[in-house]
Amino acid sequence: MAKEINTIGVLTSGGDAPGMNAAIRAVVRRAIHNGKKVKGIKRGYAGLLDEEIIDMDRFSVSDIISRGGTILQTARCLEFKEDEYQQKGADICKKHGIDGLVVIGGDGSFKGAQKLAAKGINTIGVPGTIDLDIACTEYTIGFDTAVNTAMEAIDKIRDTSSSHDRCSIVEVMGRGAGYIALWCAIANGAEDVLLPERFDFDEQQIVNHLIAGQKLGRNNHIIINAEGIGHSASLAKRIEAATGVETRATILGHMQRGGSPTCKDRVYAATMGARAVDLLCDGKSNRVVGYRHGEFVDFDIDEALAMQKDLDEYQIELAKSLTTTR
Ligand code: ADP
Ligand code: F6P
């Protein structure tokens, strides 16, 4: 029979995402509801190695559900990729009586969770990243808020762009993942979108598209550029030189990662955090919570990490076909 869990630890790792606090709150309160003790580990795996571990009670997570960021803070800790530090992390968990651990983060964080599980700490991953780039799940904590933040910003840029007959290049987050860019392309009705997964775009086609739009009487042109493609300022200069249309670049940056989470991010994050605790209480380990086909589910971490994900070709085609000039 699986050993009963007494104390559950929780940490956030990798880039922060709106809704992480809702997940932390759910972990803490669900665990206490199930009769467990809870310890918060600050600053991800870096804080674990530094033993930045705090006791948490119901009141530690009061009034945080509406706040962006993560009250536990987060970090990127390169040394945790090495076995020596993973063993140190597992030993520190044991020293503090942490026999179950919830890791809220992305694929990288799940690799750390997988290693801790292999070293005897029952560990469950909860998908937290604004990038939506975790293969086993159609939902990740923070994407909904981030994409809405980007969408609202792009609407504002469209207003001023049309007043000045300009072309605007708006760079959104996503170094390796174009989900925010693609969703905004559809939601903002952008004329063009550049995606890191399809980096071999044809710049001349964008120029031709802008000129075709002008001929049809369009007074603005929005190009959404993902961070992974980058170089928005130099692209703006080249487009202006090739078309004669005044072109401005705006990099939205980290404002997309902050802010109060949407209702969806609060509810889904709360559900996933609670499910992670339920899995630990059922004696499960090395699993990751996900959302697929309208249901909350969980997968073995090894299987989840082996899954592949790509942008939806239909959505890419849709974004193109709904513009005025195609
Ligand atoms: P995300 O979790 O959002 O994918 P990162 O890729 O930056 O973000 O990973 C977050 C942290 O997870 C890293 O800083 C590191 O501490 C840990 N991590 C990443 N890859 C591994 C790995 N292969 N083994 C153990 N830990 C890892
Ligand atoms: O958390 C995901 C993400 O925001 C990516 O979209 C982006 O490429 C990266 O993190 C930026 O990370 P940093 O915090 O190092 O600027």
| Full strand arrangement of the beta sheet holding 167-172 | 192-194, 221-226, 167-172, 247-251
Q: Which residue is it, tokens 């369009």?
A: 218
pLDDT digits (tens, 9 = 90+) for 293-326: 999 999 999 999 999 999 999 999 999 999 877 6
Q: Is the pLDDT of residue 217 over 90?
A: no
Q: Is the pLDDT of residue 1 over 70?
A: no
In angstroms, the CA 316 to CA 194 distance is: 10
For residue 110, the CA-to-ligand 1 centroid distance in Å is 7
In angstroms, the CA 178 to CA 184 distance is: 10
Among 111, 119, 141, 257, say which to mutate for ligand 1: greatest number of ligand atoms within 8 Å of CB: 111
pLDDT score for 218: 86
CB 69 within 8 A of CB 16: yes
Residue 95, ligand 2, Cβ within 6 A: no
Residue 106, ligand 1, Cβ within 6 A: yes
pLDDT score for 200: 81
Terminus-to-terminus CA distance in the chain, angstroms? 62
Average pLDDT of the residues of the chain: 96
Hey, what are 22's tokens? Answer: 């809702």
pLDDT digits (tens, 9 = 90+) for 159-209: 999 999 999 999 999 999 999 999 999 999 999 999 999 988 889 999 999
Residue 175, ligand 1, Cβ within 6 A: no
Among 13, 76, 183, 227, say which to mutate for ligand 2: greatest number of ligand atoms within 8 Å of CB: 227
Least Cα distance to 24 among 6, 46, 5, 39 occurs for 39
